[in-house]
Amino acid sequence: MGSGLSIPKNRATFVVAAAGKGCTIRSMQTRRWIVVVGLIALLLASKSPHPVAAAESKAKPLWTVELKADGLRKFRHGLVNDPGSEASVACTDQVVAVVFDAGVARDKDHVPSKSAPSGWRIVGLFFDRSSGAVLARRSWTEDTHTELFATADGNFLLHLRHFTGFLSDGPWASVLLLLSPKGDELKRIELRVNGDSKHQWWETQAAPSGKSVLLTHVQDDQREYHLLDADTLHERNSWKAIEGHKSRIASISDNEVLRIDQGIASIGAPGQPGHQTSLPAGASSLANDSLVLTRTGRPPRLLLTTLTNDKVSSVELHLPSGVQSIEPLFTCAKGTHLGAIVSAPGSQRHPMLYVWHIPGQEPIFAAGVHWTVISAQAALAPDGSWLAVVERGRVSVFRLAN
């Protein structure tokens, strides 16, 4: 019959070739069951796959560029393991920007050693979103701690921590750079520290819309906040607070600040006390002024909570079984799309990157990502129509379904 199953017309012994040599079946009733089971298997195989599997099977990048030639390092074993480069990625409507550390920078003019380290060489690459062509290459000499954000007007914000030595325990000053779509420096703010305490550093948080950025000067239990316009770096608001390690600003949107104080969430205008909100327990962040994302529970779940007129309603986004971690979460500027990298050992060979179209519960995109010690990074276009991913030493751009 050409199918691997030979059924003779008489009642003699027959052999199922697909089962291997030595597998003999003597019962006509068993033969009928074999045929029925085979037909069921064919019917099941012909059915449409799960939406997540279907999305994954169609996940083909528009373009991919290897980053090794520009200095990106992969994980390497050795006497001292090299975890590889730490990368950040951000997207505007037309440009994909990737920033990563490319190894130790050497100061050849330093005395007495001509090879003394002066910091880490930080590389910035700016790609045309449609073609993947490199628009510009930039570099800085700073520490490996970098943060990159896209602004509402199509620029980029780059937060670089100043290098103070490989074994330094603080304090850490840093700089915030406003960059053009091709990486040209438009403006900079030096984020200084004083000598009163080693426990000092600066943190940055950007609103998902790309319109605002919050700078936080941390010094022991004291916090000094500066809310800036992301495209001009002009200060909109500032305030001070004394907070313990269990109190923090978890996230900002255009007009709201989400604060977690002793495990209790409150939302309000910048610098104001805010009102207590009954959010699900877990790690929360604002997608916009009225939408909160929360990772909660073990195994972790992903909840989408809407805040309307003091009413709270949550829906759970669908994830595969056996999830171990959800990291990181990222949204597009319009708040219509949400992405996450999900690790589920035992069910997938590699972590999976999912994208949801809010408020839909099923992912519209899924693809396997690879990492060793440093996780993969991803960012959505402002309108959520495409996705940029940095993993396995390369950057790729995918178009997303409507």
203 or 392, greater pLDDT: 203
Based on the structure, what is the number of domains in the chain?
2
Residues 30 and 172 in one domain: no
- The answer to whether residues 75 and 88 touch, using CB atoms and an 8 Å cutoff, is no
**Does residue 137 carry a pLDDT above 80?**
yes
Residue 400 lies in a domain: no
Which amino acid would we find at residue 359?
A: P
Each residue's pLDDT tens digit, 102-111: 877 765 544 4
Helix (H) or strand (E) holding 249: strand 247-252
Each residue's pLDDT tens digit, 294-348: 888 877 888 888 876 666 678 888 887 778 888 778 899 998 999 988 886 554 4
Rounded to an integer, the average pLDDT of 49-54 is: 46
Residue 8: predicted pLDDT: 40
Residue 76 lies in a domain: no
174 or 307, greater pLDDT: 174
Residues 6+ apart with CB under 8 A from 282: 294, 295, 296, 297, 300, 303
Residue 20: predicted pLDDT: 41
Residues 27 and 170 in one domain: no
Residues 36 and 148 in one domain: no
User: If you write DSSP's letter for every residue of 21-81 in order, what string do you get?
Assistant: TT-EE--HHHHHHHHHHHHHHHHHHHSPPPHHHHHHHT---SEEEE-GGGTPPPPB-SSS-
Residues 31 and 151 in one domain: no
- The answer to whether residues 206 and 180 touch, using CB atoms and an 8 Å cutoff, is no
Which residue, chain included where needed, has tokens 């993947």?
A: 132
Residues 136 and 187 in one domain: yes
Of the pLDDT bands very low, low, confident and very high (cuts 50, 70, 90), residue 289 is confident
- The answer to whether residues 143 and 153 touch, using CB atoms and an 8 Å cutoff, is no
Residue 268: predicted pLDDT: 87
Residues 320 and 345: their CA atoms lie apart, in Å, by 11
Residues 168 and 19 in one domain: no
**Does residue 379 carry a pLDDT above 90?**
yes
* Domain-ending residue, one of 242, 272, 304: 242
64 or 59, greater pLDDT: 64
- Please write down the long-range contacts of 350-353, taking CB distance under 8 Å and 24 or more positions apart: 351/376, 352/56, 352/320, 353/378, 353/389
Which amino acid would we find at residue 228?
A: L
Residues 116 and 189 in one domain: yes
Rounded to an integer, the average pLDDT of 200-225 is: 93
Residue 285 lies in a domain: no
Percent of the chain scored above 90 by pLDDT? 37
Domain of residue 108 covers 85-242
Radius of gyration of the chain (CA): 27
Residue 298: predicted pLDDT: 78
Residue 160 lies in a domain: yes
Rounded to an integer, the average pLDDT of 92-118 is: 73
Of the pLDDT bands very low, low, confident and very high (cuts 50, 70, 90), residue 72 is confident
Residues 31 and 174 in one domain: no
Count other Cβ atoms within 10 Å, centred on residue 234.
Answer: 9
Residues 89 and 238 in one domain: yes
**Does residue 11 carry a pLDDT above 50?**
no
Q: Which of 284, 214, 288 is nearest to 250 (CA)?
A: 284
**Does residue 266 carry a pLDDT above 50?**
yes
Residue 57: predicted pLDDT: 46
* Domain-ending residue, one of 180, 211, 242: 242
Residues 73 and 70: their CA atoms lie apart, in Å, by 9
Residues 324 and 110: their CA atoms lie apart, in Å, by 48
Residues 381 and 395: their CA atoms lie apart, in Å, by 14
Residue 384 burial (10 A CB sphere; 0-12, 13-18, 19+): buried
CA distances to 115, 172, 189 from 192, rounded to whole Å, are 28, 8, 9
Residue 385: predicted pLDDT: 93
User: Dihedrals φ, ψ of 167, to 5°?
Assistant: -110, 15
Residue 64: predicted pLDDT: 96
Average pLDDT, the chain: 79
Residue 398 lies in a domain: no
Residues 42 and 110 in one domain: no
Residues 186 and 117 in one domain: yes
Residue 354 lies in a domain: no
Query: Which of the residue ranges 49-63, 82-96, 119-133, 181-195 would you say has the lowest mean pLDDT?
Result: 49-63
Residue 238: predicted pLDDT: 94
Query: Which of the residue ranges 101-110, 162-171, 261-270, 355-364 would you say has the lowest mean pLDDT?
Result: 101-110
* Domain-ending residue, one of 242, 271, 300: 242
Stated pTM of the model:
0.80
Neighbouring-strand partners of residue 306: 291, 313
Residue 33 burial (10 A CB sphere; 0-12, 13-18, 19+): exposed
**Does residue 4 carry a pLDDT above 80?**
no
Rounded to an integer, the average pLDDT of 210-214 is: 96
30 or 240, greater pLDDT: 240
Residues 56 and 352: their CA atoms lie apart, in Å, by 9
Residues 230 and 220: their CA atoms lie apart, in Å, by 27
User: Dihedrals φ, ψ of 382, to 5°?
Assistant: -55, -35
Residue 274 lies in a domain: no
Residue 234: predicted pLDDT: 97
Q: Is the peptide bond before 208 cis (omega within 30 degrees of 0)?
A: no
- The answer to whether residues 229 and 211 touch, using CB atoms and an 8 Å cutoff, is yes
**Does residue 17 carry a pLDDT above 90?**
no
Residue 147 lies in a domain: yes
CA distances to 13, 113, 245 from 369, rounded to whole Å, are 50, 42, 33
Of the pLDDT bands very low, low, confident and very high (cuts 50, 70, 90), residue 81 is low
Residues 169 and 110 in one domain: yes
Rounded to an integer, the average pLDDT of 176-188 is: 97
